[in-house]
Amino acid sequence: MKQLIDKLYKTSNLSPAEYKELIDNRNSELSEYLFEKARAVRIENYGYDVYIRGLIEFTNYCKNDCYYCGIRKSNCRAERYRLTKEQILECCSVGYDLGFRTFVLQGGEDGYFTDDKIIDIIRSIKTSYPDCAVTLSIGEKSYESYKAFFDAGAERYLLRHETANAEHYGKLHPKALSLDSRKQCLYNLKDIGYQVGCGFMVGSPFQTTDCLVEDLLFIKQLNPHMVGIGPFIPHRGTPFADKEAGTLELTLFLVGIIRLMLPPVLLPATTALGTIHPKGRELGILAGANVIMPNLSPKSVRQKYLLYDNKICTGDEAADCLCRMKKRMEGIGYHVTISRGDHKSIL
């Protein structure tokens, strides 16, 4: 099995059968070997730097009804909120002073935020903070909308593909959503010139090793700048309330594999990873991740943007979160840096 990791390290490629063999035969010794290689590749590309992104969860209204997600339209117990443009800019101001140079605007698919409103928000942020990157994470839109946001100054877009297997996609989403449209959005974003991020949940209901292999092959083919993966965690207000959560162990293993597949990729140690294990994000960094995404949303709405149960940091000020994160990273020999943290191909 170590030969497969050596091959992946040297060539950034494996066949579908080899990925499957590697995933199905993993054990703690093999994982350690994988993480060593993944760290070497990460350090070669980004040193010991950890890039930070200020996450602004600006609306939890959503027209979609994804079976796994706590802010799905049918969850009538979710307390809905929207931030005003002024509140969003205030988050940026707090974030800028703390050293954030990337702001991620994330929200449900909320019709209230028309293209004009989003464009106005992007322009305002870019005018006040011209040295910062704006990342959008607001779901599926038309080519024209994506282009208009890009022209307004947004330069990165996160849209997880969720699963690259169409049948599996159908088990996680209502009929109105399709894998084909999802993929088309990702290709459109790339075509427009965004730095693009895809990704998936590890251990989502009905996921098999074959699904994971398809995820890896799709990621390799798309060749995104960013990949976000985290364990699935059930939310009590969803049809998947009683499903099992994904594991730390498999998530870390996949983080390591993705680092070797795409050496310069920007790879976050996600909040979901930090939620299933107290040291989840440190372990993510040690498995090859190089980004963390602390929350910049106002404290008053933190408790309301709950995609899954027991989400961490919902009661903390951004400053405290960041301060703790910096210490935790120093504790494992890495440093949070003040920079836009662009993908290597952009520099």
Minimum CB–partner distance for residue 88 and ligand 5AD (Å) = 18
Q: Tokens 């390591």 map to which residue?
A: 256
In the bound state with ligand 5AD, the residue whose beta carbon lies nearer, of 96 and 169, is 169
Looking at the Cβ atoms of 41 and 201, the one nearer to ligand 5AD is 201
Q: Is the four-CA dihedral 310, 290, 101, 136 of positive or negative sign?
A: negative
Binding of ligand 5AD by 214 (CB under 6 A): no
Query: Rounded CA gap, 62 and 77, in Å?
Result: 13
216 is a site residue for ligand 5AD (CB under 6 A):
no
Applying CB under 6 A, the site for ligand 5AD has a residue count of 12
Q: Does 220 contact ligand 5AD by CB under 6 A?
A: no
Stretch in the footprint of ligand 5AD (CB under 6 A) among 53-61, 170-178, 225-233, 327-335? 225-233
Pick from 9, 46, 113, 308: which binds ligand 5AD (CB under 6 A)? Answer: 308
Give the Cα-Cα-Cα angle 46, 295, 100 (nearest 5 degrees): 50
d(CA 191, CA 281): 32
Nearer to ligand 5AD, 72 or 101 (CB): 72
Within 66-105, which residues bind ligand 5AD (CB under 6 A)?
68-69
Burial, 230: exposed, middle or buried (Cβ in 10 Å; 0-12, 13-18, 19+)?
buried
**Does residue 162 touch ligand 5AD according to CB under 6 A?**
yes
- CB atoms < 10 A from the CB of 341, how many? 20
- What whole-number distance in Å separates Cα of residue 131 and Cα of residue 71? 32
- Verify binding: residue 292, ligand 5AD, rule CB under 6 A: no
Binding status of residue 179 toward ligand 5AD by CB under 6 A? no
CB of 228 to ligand 5AD, least distance (A): 7
At 294, which amino acid appears? P
Residues 74, 71: Cα–Cα separation, whole Å: 8
CB of 69 to ligand 5AD, least distance (A): 4
- Residues numbered 226-265 forming contacts with ligand 5AD, rule: CB under 6 A: 230, 232-233, 235
By CB under 6 A, is residue 307 in contact with ligand 5AD? yes
Give the binding site for ligand 5AD (CB under 6 A): 68-69, 160, 162, 201, 230, 232-233, 235, 272, 307-308
